[in-house]
Amino acid sequence: MVNRASQAAPPLPPGPPDAEAVLGLYERAGGLRRGHFVLSSGLHSDTYLQSAPVLQWPAVAEALGRALAVRWRSETQGQDGGPVDVVVGPAMGGVVIGHEVARALGVRMVFTERSGDRSGGGAMALRRSFTVGPGERALIAENVVTTGGSALEVAALLRTAGAEVAGLLTVIDRLPAGAQLPLPFVALARVEAGAWESAACPGCLQDARAETPGSKGLT
């Protein structure tokens, strides 16, 4: 028998979610946990962060997308050079939140995928008849930015197509402390997370049992 109480959506705050409310949503949905974890990369971390348990709820995804759109408008007002024409989300992480940001901005949304085989090791590409045309202003959206590598790859793809990259939005900023990206960047919340090889992992050094809660692409 399904425990429907355990499948309930985390309650939304009464107003636009601030950083504390966003992290609260992740914690209540099981998308943010502290402990000792083995990531898909093989590195060990003291933090488990995954957006899928949060964004599975349409109302929550919509609220977060709307909050990002509001922040983008307020933080770039008078500086962004004009309206955005399209939101671009790298698959898989940017698909749901990108769609909700686009809904809030009233524009279309497309997503990029890695070309090549099923291993996902190819270059980012626009597939499925998606196009971004010369002169369009594109806004990149992700659920979590850990290194910024995927977003910068998408930015390069868009510029090659002749589009202007307006900036990058993300629900969670997980960049290393002090890291800077070469494009306007807006995040709803920040999470500090350590990552170590097993030999240097504090949890392993204390003989703490490690969990492997996610799958490939854990973010």
Is residue 42 scored above 60 in pLDDT? yes
Angstrom distance (rounded) from CA 155 to CA 185: 13
Query: What's the confidence (pLDDT) of residue 203?
Result: 79
Query: What's the confidence (pLDDT) of residue 216?
Result: 46
**Which CATH number is correct for 17-205, 3.40.50.2020, 3.40.1350.10, 1.10.287.70, 3.40.930.10?**
3.40.50.2020
Structure tokens at 36: 């000792």
Strand partners, 196: 44
Query: What's the confidence (pLDDT) of residue 212?
Result: 79
pLDDT tens per residue across span 71-88: 998 887 645 546 899 999
Q: How many CA atoms lie within 13 A of 210 on its CB side?
A: 22
pLDDT tens per residue across span 94-132: 999 999 999 999 999 999 998 765 555 688 888 898 889
200 and 184 in contact (C-beta within 8 Å)?
Answer: no
Domain boundaries, the chain: 17-205
pLDDT tens per residue across span 194-213: 777 888 787 787 878 777 77
pLDDT tens per residue across span 159-192: 999 999 999 999 999 888 888 899 999 999 999 8
The pTM (predicted TM-score) of the whole model is: 0.84
Instruction: Kindly list the distances between the CA atom of residue 23 and the CA atoms of 34, 50, 87, 211, in Å, as whole numbers in the listed order.
Output: 12, 12, 24, 21
Query: What's the confidence (pLDDT) of residue 218?
Result: 41
CA angle 133, 146, 20 (to 5 degrees): 105
Is residue 19 scored above 60 in pLDDT? yes
Q: Which of 196, 216, 192 is nearest to 205 (CA)?
A: 196
Q: What is the DSSP code (8-state) at residue 28?
A: H
Query: What's the confidence (pLDDT) of residue 194?
Result: 78
Query: What's the confidence (pLDDT) of residue 35?
Result: 81
Angstrom distance (rounded) from CA 183 to CA 13: 30
Query: What's the confidence (pLDDT) of residue 78?
Result: 46
Angstrom distance (rounded) from CA 45 to CA 38: 6
What values do phi and psi take at 110, rounded to 5?
-130, 165
Q: How many CA atoms lie within 13 A of 13 on its CB side?
A: 15
**CA-CA-CA-CA torsion for 94, 98, 100, 101, nearest 10 degrees?**
140
